[in-house]
Structure 1
Amino acid sequence: MKFAVQSRNDPQSNELMERAISYLTDFGLEIDEEKPDIVLSIGGDGTLLHAFHRYSHILSDVAFVGIHTGHLGFYADWKPIEIEKLVISIAKSDYKVIDYPLLEVVINYQNSDENYTYLALNESTVKSPEVTLVMDVELNGRPFERFRGDGLCVSTPSGSTAYNKALGGAILHPSIEAIQVTEMASINNRVFRTVGSSLVLPAHHSCVLKPVKAKDFMVTVDHVQLLHKNVKSIQYKVAKEKVRFARFRAFPFWQRVHDSFIDSDLK
């Protein structure tokens, strides 16, 4: 088995990375930064996002596992003191692989057949360089609403606990094949109206955003933010690709939600 390690690059994470590499090579595993079978992410959920995008071109062949060196995360669920236990389980291939849906983002441009396609593990957002974002929202090719506000956030189920939740969106179990569209400070008055609620779209549905006047937009894909000019449309849907995680033990998602957002000591 071949492996790679992504570190947050702080002293504790780097020290754990060196230990993991030493332990795994002692067990006969091969380090391969180009085509690993399993990727250890040491840091936090942000570190795993970087690892995901680093290996997004080989998602069908690689599985991820996270060790947190800060706050307990939704992707990084192993503790530093468990490094030896984790290494032994990897060496014995004592794990199963589960997969979660991803978000596909396709940006089309005015007067051009060129487009860019991205994959997001958590979410993609759209904002205007101007004060207000104005976009026509189409669902499955049909006009739905004209959105006016600060922006829109489209998230995966596994990303629903991140920015989406901060915007008031729903938390979805990461196994659900869906995406969620959530508003950022929409303008609702006697003249302008939006639905005002998050929309959860199943895998066979799509959401397309079309500019009304402005053509330039700030688009984020997870941690990456880019200015796209002369945009014709932005399409969102559940991607064909999936992210794969190595699971060595039960992963109680709703318990993790409780511990993260309510109180881990609450009785």
Structure 2
Amino acid sequence: MINYKTIYFFAPHGDETKEIKQDLSKLFDRLDIHTVESDKEADIIASIGGDGAFLQAVRRSNFRDDCVYLGIAADSNRHFYVDFHYQDIQALEEAFQKDDMDVRRYPTIEVKVNDNNPSYCLNEFTLRSSIVKTLKMDIYISDFFFEHFNGDGILVSTPTGSTGYNKSVGGAVVDPLIESMQVTELGSVNNNTYRTLGTSFLLNRQRPLTLLIDKNTDYYPVMSLDNEAISVQNTEKVELRLSKKHIQTLKLKDNTFWHKTQRNFL
């Protein structure tokens, strides 16, 4: 394992996790990994909480690809991005001492709204209508016009995000080793006037997706990146592609994506 020297703790719940952070700092001091107060200085960025805290830690640190991310749950619940639990702090220490971990790389999605600077997501991007009315848009794959969509919205997920909202609306669960983004319809209208593919599909890095929103009607789309909303007025175009940017995570060797999928769903 790489010789990590510094760690930053992302603890979004403040006082609720103050004691946990102190205990973890002492643990990593014993491992000769010392706590720093800025995520920019850290070799390891550790989130304290569930998957939501992990996603926030990645976003707030700007999707760094020159460090590793580590998820530590504050509860006993099972998570997808989080491998370790504060209740079993000894297992965390032993995993570092015995080098019982792998570094895994997860792909991200680049999202560009109108002509704004690109943003990124690790889990999923959603675009939905915010009023009681369907949303119409033209969908392009690369420069090829694919379909005219009419419905509640569109969800685009990474493989690691495929087990979340995507799965609940009928999307496929995708192995993270398959670098792709999955496009899933939300409440599409299919009749003699409107016709969509009606199923989710995968795109690789060479096939960007463009959503051109029909401006003949006043729409107020709601968009989100992972677990945070995007505030953009007058949205006309959204461009999405599988990014070259990855994040690296520390994971237990015997706790793969499919182990977690089995535990959570079967």
- TM-score, with structure 2 as normaliser: 0.88
Matched, 1:36 2:37: no
For residues 24-49 of structure 1, give each alpha carbon's deviation from its aligned partner in whole angstroms, at most 9, with x where no partner exists.
12443222223211122221100101
* Alpha-carbon offset, residue 252 of structure 1: 2.6
Please identify, of 128-137 and 139-148, the stretch whose mean Cα deviation from structure 2 is larger.
Answer: 128-137
- Work out which of the residue numbers 1, 7, 19 in structure 2 matches 1:3: 7
Query: What is the match of residue 119 of structure 2?
Result: 118
The DSSP-based 3-state class of the residue aligned with 2:117 is: strand
C-alpha distance in structure 2 between counterparts of 1:19 and 1:133, whole Å: 49
How many residues were matched structurally?
Answer: 256
> For residues 120-163 of structure 1, what are the alpha-carbon distances to aligned partners after superposition, in whole Å with 9 as ceiling and x for unaligned?
01000011233211110000111011111111000000000011
Structure 2 unmatched runs, 5+: none
Is residue 247 of structure 2 the alignment partner of residue 261 of structure 1?
no
TM-score, length basis structure 1: 0.88
- 1:197 CA drift (Å): 0.2
CA shift, 1:10, in A, is: 7.4
Match of 1:65 in 2: 70
> C-alpha distance in 2, partners of 1:224/1:46?
10
Change (3 A) 1:152 1:70: farther
Distance in structure 1 (CA, Å) of the matches to 2:8 and 2:231: 32
Amino acid at match of 2:178: I
Contact 2:107 2:179 in 1 (8 A): yes
Distance in 2 separating the partners of 1:252 and 1:132: 39
Note if 1:137 corresponds to 2:139: yes
1:77 Cα deviation from its structure 2 partner: 1.8
The corresponding residue for 1:237 is 241
Give the match for residue 103 of structure 1.
109
Contact 2:135 2:219 in 1 (8 A): no
Does residue 212 of structure 1 match 2:251?
A: no
- The answer as to 2:166 corresponding to 1:160 is no
Q: Say whether the 8 Å CA contact 2:106–2:246 is kept in structure 1.
A: yes
- Pick one of 82, 89, 96 that aligns with 1:76: 82
> Residues of 2 paired with 1:10 and 1:175: CA distance?
35
Instruction: Flag the 1:206–1:177 CA change in 2: closer, same or farther, 3 A.
Output: same
Separation in 1 of the partners of 2:16 and 2:177? 32
Alignment of 1:40-59 (within 5 A): 40-57=46-63, 59=64
Q: What is the alpha-carbon distance in structure 1 between the residues aligned to residue 252 and residue 129 of structure 2? A: 43
Q: Distance in 2 between matches of 1:146 and 1:222?
A: 25
Residue 249 (structure 1) shift: 2.4
Q: Are 2:27 and 1:23 aligned?
A: yes
| 1:70 positional shift | 4.1
Query: What's the offset of the Cα at 1:85?
Result: 3.3
Letter in 2 for 1:146: H
SS of 1:50's partner is helix
**CA positional deviation for 1:92:** 7.3
Quote the offset at 1:13 in angstroms: 4.1
Kept in 1: contact 2:76–2:87 (CA 8 A)? no
Residues 243 and 94 of structure 1, relative CA distance in 2, 3 Å threshold: same
RMSD of aligned residue pairs (Cα, Å) = 2.0
Change in Cα spacing, 1:255 to 1:27, as seen in structure 2 (3 Å) is closer
| 1: CA distance, partners of 2:130 / 2:262 | 37
